[in-house]
Structure 1
């Protein structure tokens, strides 16, 4: 199963793709869609188009994204929510199922604690996927979301089969 994780942002949207196998995860690709537009609707269009290109290039079978969380700045939260909506619509329009996870779930699945910071998550992602060298923080967050989804899917499959 090929999983696309997305870390949406109105200036940088990270993506990460893994293959999930019973014996572990395999890194496929990751990167960032860097938004160049100043006009906000154009930014949303760039997120939409960029993610459609990622789906066309890597052919994921499922997509995972973080749920919206409360933000101290209402304007930032609104923009993040709209960027997230553009990302979901881009992928949903290709027919892929979309799964959502709380930030605490992702951190718990990757680092073992729900209050892990971004650098801890990045370090664990690199270890879990055997990635050498630099990894952009938005891409590592997206890969973390992919891994979180893979863990939840494996757990659901085991429960379905009656295996604990």
Structure 2
């Protein structure tokens, strides 16, 4: 099973890909997509094109995505909401199950503490996946955390069936 996490943003979209098998979870890929220049429709089209290529390359069964949380800047929340909508619509068109999580749920799944700092989450991911180099891109790290949370949640849902 392939699980992808996505961290939506207005200019950078983080993604993280995990593989789940009988041996457990392993890190497959992670990185960031840049939405590029232009107005909102052009940026969303750029995002969709790039994300479609990542989805085609990895063929995820599940996508975990962070729910919107409070932003001080109304313009930012609107742009992030638009990106989330484009991401979720693309996943649905590709028949990929989408699971949404709050930042608290994601932090809880990774660190055991829902109010953990961003750096604590990154350090825990580095330990979980035994990374030799630190995660440098916050958006990619957030996406990996969303993927980890989706994997844990899906395992719970599967156990309940």
Q: Would you call these one fold, judging by a TM-score over 0.5?
A: yes
What TM-score bracket applies, with the shorter chain setting the length?
A: over 0.9
- CA deviation digits over 1:50-78, x for unaligned, max 9? 11000111111111101122222211111
Partner of 2:122: 122
Partner of 2:83: 83
Partner of 2:14: 14
For residues 149 and 157 of structure 1, the distance between their equivalents in structure 2, rounded to whole angstroms, comes to 12
| Structure 1 SS opposite 2:157 | helix
Q: How many residues align?
A: 160
- CA deviation digits over 1:78-136, x for unaligned, max 9? 11111111111222221111111111000000011111121111111111122221422
For residues 23 and 105 of structure 2, the distance between their equivalents in structure 1, rounded to whole angstroms, comes to 22
In the superposition, the TM-score normalised over structure 2's length comes to 0.93
Partner of 2:152: 151
In the superposition, the TM-score normalised over structure 1's length comes to 0.91
Structure 1 unaligned runs (5+)?
none
Shift of 1:153: 1.4
For residues 157 and 48 of structure 1, the distance between their equivalents in structure 2, rounded to whole angstroms, comes to 30
Structure 2 unaligned runs (5+)?
none
Shift of 1:22: 4.7
Partner of 2:52: 52
For residues 134 and 28 of structure 1, the distance between their equivalents in structure 2, rounded to whole angstroms, comes to 16
Shift of 1:159: 3.1
Contact 1:49 1:90 in 2 (8 A): no
CA RMSD of superposed structures (Å): 1.3
For residues 11 and 47 of structure 1, the distance between their equivalents in structure 2, rounded to whole angstroms, comes to 9
Shift of 1:18: 0.0
For residues 81 and 101 of structure 1, the distance between their equivalents in structure 2, rounded to whole angstroms, comes to 14
